[in-house]
Amino acid sequence: MKKYLALLAVLASTILNAQAGGITEIKGVSKKTKPGAVKLYKIVHGSMEEIASSTPNAGGAFKFSFQPEYDGFYVIGSGKASAQDFANVKYKLYVKGKDKINLELNDSTYVLTGKNTKENQVLEQWYKLTYNIEQKSIYRNRPLKTYVDFFSALDAAAIQAKSWTNGKATGNAEFDNLMKLTVNYDLAHMAMYFLRNSGTFPTKENYNAYLKGFNADQFMQNEDLLKFPYGQLLLKYLVMFKTYKPGLGMLPLDKEAVMTIPNDVLKGEYVLDYASTVNSYAKFVEISDKYSTYFLTADQQKRAHEIAAGLIRLEPGKKAINFTSSDVTGKPVSLADFNGKIVYVHVWTMNGQIKENPLAQLEEEFQGKDVVFLSVFAGEEKDKENWKKFLDRYQWGGIQLFADPQIQKVYRITGNNTLSSFMLFDKNGNIINLAAPRPNGPTGPGKAQIKAVLNEWLSKS
């Protein structure tokens, strides 16, 4: 009896704790023309991390029920947890616990339905005001004749934004203050994103009133930037805006770039974000030696240690991190299946440029030797049928595998390399080179390089 009463006490305590923590419930209906998984993301250091996924039922209904880790913005949508995933629309929601949020998702918009919090009602109003600007800047679903079209819409929204939050108090002071930040940070994000990605290349002389009066430092005075799902990306774009040089792409990590950020914690975030893209421990040590004084918070120091530890695991001679993917028939295939052979891996995405299989000629030339060529497509489940059609259309033979994009994260495949990269492993399943020479066509110099490397390793056995 005592045990029974004790169990009841524990259960009651658990229920009370859950209620105190505040379970948030998000219910919705997806009315997209191509329905797929609906994802929920949290914001960590100004970037998104997926925390849940829901597959809508036959009627399009989906649901999330969770205990939020913090009061603030979460994101709902689809696709990668990236502020640069312009192919998949995402929306901010404000969550504080014990929320009831009801919405409808369409191809490029969301609409609140039924019962909702005051905070999300205000957020939806702001979303509607900036919808056209966001579409033209980030998602680019509405073709632009020139940048003049976007600049005109941006100027009009900027004028409205100055007093937009007046009279929109929700009774939640924390949210009301965040909303005042949001109208400014959102416009800055859309403006900076447009400048970097629109392809229209306006010069400073062509800037509109908003950009001519734009003060990048205003957004880098404190860590407020990191409350937004695009915070890390906007930080990079703000630095690029301040250090603008015609024809220069993404900035290298140098003193000029780092020192242009007025807040030291944000300096650390900028450096850590860059460090997370390098694929050698030596390069990380070089970065750390120069800029570790800006790893100020315990969390930043922890992340720096984790980056270093991860890179040490990927040094040449270390055991490869095994991965398992499915072939065109759905059969699972692992890297470890090919122990005893040299393995040359091509990791690629559907970028519209690759049509000829870069491994085909090498496979012919090394036929009968202890070399295996793996072609690994990194994509989401919705991409699988298009991948199969692509392979059939362009007659890609050999071992073709479909992998989760996580493989790129595990092996630190970043930047332009996400489109196409090559890795080489020895017969014992150890790393030879995670940035192996590329074939570069049937007669290019890259093909001669990789042939020489393969023959060298074959001769060692």
| Percent over 70 (pLDDT), the chain | 90
> Regarding predicted confidence, which is higher, 10 or 367?
367
The domain made up of 324-459 has a fold known as Glutaredoxin (3.40.30)
Rounding to the nearest 10 degrees, give the CA dihedral for residues 186, 187, 188, 192. Answer: 110
Cα–Cα dist 115/165, whole Å: 22
**46: CB partners within 8 A, 6+ apart:** 225, 226, 227, 228, 229, 230, 231, 232, 233, 234, 235, 269
Mean of pLDDT values over 189-209: 87
> Is the model's pLDDT at 256 over the cut of 60?
yes
Residues making up the chain, counted from first to last: 461
- Note whether 257 and 243 are within 8 A (CB): yes
**Considering the chain, what is the average pLDDT of its residues?**
89
pLDDT of the residue at 419: 82
Closest CA to 402 of 388, 417, 423: 388
Cα–Cα dist 343/190, whole Å: 43
Angle at 91 between CA 85 and CA 97, to 5 degrees: 130
The tens digit of pLDDT for each residue in 157-191 reads 999 999 999 999 999 999 999 999 999 999 999 99
pLDDT of the residue at 245: 64
DSSP letter for 179, please. H
Per-residue confidence band for 347, with pLDDT thresholds at 50, 70 and 90: very high
Helices (H), 146-172: 147-161
> Is the model's pLDDT at 16 over the cut of 50?
no
- The SS3 assignment for 323 reads coil
Cα–Cα dist 429/318, whole Å: 9
| Percent over 90 (pLDDT), the chain | 71
Angle at 272 between CA 267 and CA 278, to 5 degrees: 135
Q: Which two tokens stand for residue 56?
A: 């809508």
The domain made up of 22-116 has a fold known as Immunoglobulin-like (2.60.40)
Cα–Cα dist 229/104, whole Å: 21
The tens digit of pLDDT for each residue in 365-380 reads 999 999 999 999 998 8
Q: Which two tokens stand for residue 306?
A: 């984790």
Mean of pLDDT values over 406-435: 87
CA distances from 262 to 182, 211, 223 (A): 20, 20, 11
> Is the model's pLDDT at 146 over the cut of 60?
yes
Cα–Cα dist 438/362, whole Å: 11
**DSSP bridge partners of 375:** 346, 400
Per-residue confidence band for 18, with pLDDT thresholds at 50, 70 and 90: very low
Closest CA to 343 of 364, 315, 371, 317: 371
The domain segmentation of the chain, as residue ranges, is 22-116, 324-459
Q: Is 156 exposed, middle or buried (0-12, 13-18, 19+ CB in 10 A)?
A: middle
DSSP letter string over 211-275?
Answer: HHT--GGGGSSSGGGGGSTTHHHHHHHHHHHHT--TT--SPPS-HHHHHT-S-HHHHHHHHHHHH
> Is the model's pLDDT at 198 over the cut of 90?
no
- Note whether 323 and 407 are within 8 A (CB): yes
Mean of pLDDT values over 282-307: 94
pLDDT of the residue at 7: 39
Helices (H) and strands (E) in the chain, counts: 14, 15
Dihedrals phi, psi of 216, to nearest 5 degrees: -60, -35
> Regarding predicted confidence, which is higher, 337 or 195?
337
Mean of pLDDT values over 410-421: 79
The residue written with tokens 């005042």 in the block is: 180
Please report, as a single letter, which amino acid is at residue 110. Answer: Y
pLDDT of the residue at 39: 97
Cα–Cα dist 439/449, whole Å: 8
Closest CA to 65 of 96, 98, 95, 26: 26
Cα–Cα dist 131/456, whole Å: 57
The tens digit of pLDDT for each residue in 234-251 reads 999 999 999 876 544 556
Rounding to the nearest 10 degrees, give the CA dihedral for residues 387, 393, 397, 402. Answer: 0
